[in-house]
Copies of this chain bind each other. A is one copy, B any other.
Amino acid sequence: MKRKICVVVASRANYGRIKAVLKAIQKHPKLELQLILGASALLERYGDLREIIKKDGFKVNATVYMILEGENPVTMAKSTGLGLLELPTVLTRLKPDITLTVADRFETISTAIASTYMNIPLAHTQGGEITGSIDESVRHAITKLAHVHLTTNENTAERLRKMGEDPKKIYVTGCPAIDLIEDADLTIQEDFIDKYKGVGAEIDFTKPYIVVLQHPVTTEYGKGFDQINQTLQAIYELKIPTVWFWPNVDAGSDDISHGIRKFREAHKITFMHFFKSMEPEDYLRLINNCKCIIGNSSSAIREGSYLGIPAVNLGTRQDGRERGPNIVDIGYDKEEIKNAIKKQVKHGRYPKSTIYGDGKAADKIADVLAKCELNLQKKITY
């Protein structure tokens, strides 16, 4: 009898960080993949993943709409609640042996609570990592609910042990985001705009360009408009061709988007192009060939460290996250941002760091899911 592993993919970021595992589960002789697609992964505004996931050869067992529109703290909390109303219906039908949830978003804690209250063992990736924002709290809360920890490296494993998790349930597998890099052909593709449309200026991807991803910081709700304006102004003055991604669905997303739109209305910008989302491999190709990543996305640190891409990390969202040498950390200040970008572009590529894994995580994770002992009752170790 195969173990049924139910994976909830709830955003474009989720997908890139778990796709390699989906493939590994799919081909594992003792596992059966169940895929739930939910939240912003179903929404056109954030990049509907359905077509991509279908093309990648995965069957979606259930779709779960759960985003209450509003992009503020109230709707983020209520969306978590909607996830908790919806997911038990689906889990009742799919009856998985294990639920696998990714990282630290509100959809992730919906999944974690639904699964554990329904007595379905919960596996979790990215446990033991550190950041800022509410994600920091939520990630550790999910750790306390999870039965199986699929963690990035020995440091995060040690942190999970310190937190009182059973050492026998902590598996150092590396992050499967790195597997994608190993598996992909990162030769540049020049058809990003043709493929993903988006809005803004044409970008010549054979020439130097930079990439921006700046998300709202939920614990600094209300400051996003000013924060994004510093970045916009800095890059406007630098006049480097820029690929800019719209922010994710967190509270404050609207402030960021609004800031971007307002800036575009006020300035003629001939060197920025805006995308909602890309296939994970295309995103890797995009950043692999860029001169610098700017913003507060974990991808600059996680995938960026392995690729050695120079990156400028802004503000507190990634505070404490383990990072390679490719990162320069600064605050929300136009001049600082300009200087840091200039410095990083000039520096060029950094050596590869394997703090987030060596590209072999997915098979290890599939093996753990196939063989791990499953006990419902958790108990702190001290």
Q: Which residues of B contact A258 (CB under 8 A)?
A: 44
A82 at interface by CB-CB < 8 Å: yes
Considering the chains assembled together, what is the distance between the CA atoms of A114 and B145 in angstroms?
Answer: 17
User: Among B83, B118, B219, B378, which residue has its beta carbon within 8 angstroms of that of A81?
Assistant: B83
A234 at interface by CB-CB < 8 Å: no
A329 at interface by CB-CB < 8 Å: no
Considering the chains assembled together, what is the distance between the CA atoms of A110 and B84 in angstroms?
Answer: 10
Secondary structure call for the A interface = helix
Chain A, interface size category, equals 35 or more
Q: Which residues of B contact A42 (CB under 8 A)?
A: 70
Q: Would you give 7 A-B contacts (Cβ < 8 Å), ordered by A?
A: A65-B75, A68-B82, A78-B88, A106-B117, A159-B382, A197-B265, A219-B376
Minimum Cβ distance to chain B for residue A272 (Å): 15
A1 at interface by CB-CB < 8 Å: no
A32 at interface by CB-CB < 8 Å: no
Say which one of A15-23, A134-142, A278-286, A346-354 lies at the interface with B: A134-142
Tell me the A33-62 residues at the B interface (CB within 8 Å): 42-45
Q: Are B117 and A134 in contact (CB under 8 A)?
A: yes
Q: Which residues of B contact A114 (CB under 8 A)?
A: 77, 81
Q: Which residues of B contact A138 (CB under 8 A)?
A: 116, 145
3 closest residue pairs by CB, A with B? A81-B84, A140-B144, A81-B85
Q: Which residues of B contact A136 (CB under 8 A)?
A: 377-380
Q: Are B80 and A117 in contact (CB under 8 A)?
A: yes
A254 — nearest CB in chain B belongs to which residue? B44
Considering the chains assembled together, what is the distance between the CA atoms of A88 and B138 in angstroms?
Answer: 17
Q: Which residues of B contact A65 (CB under 8 A)?
A: 68-70, 74-75, 78
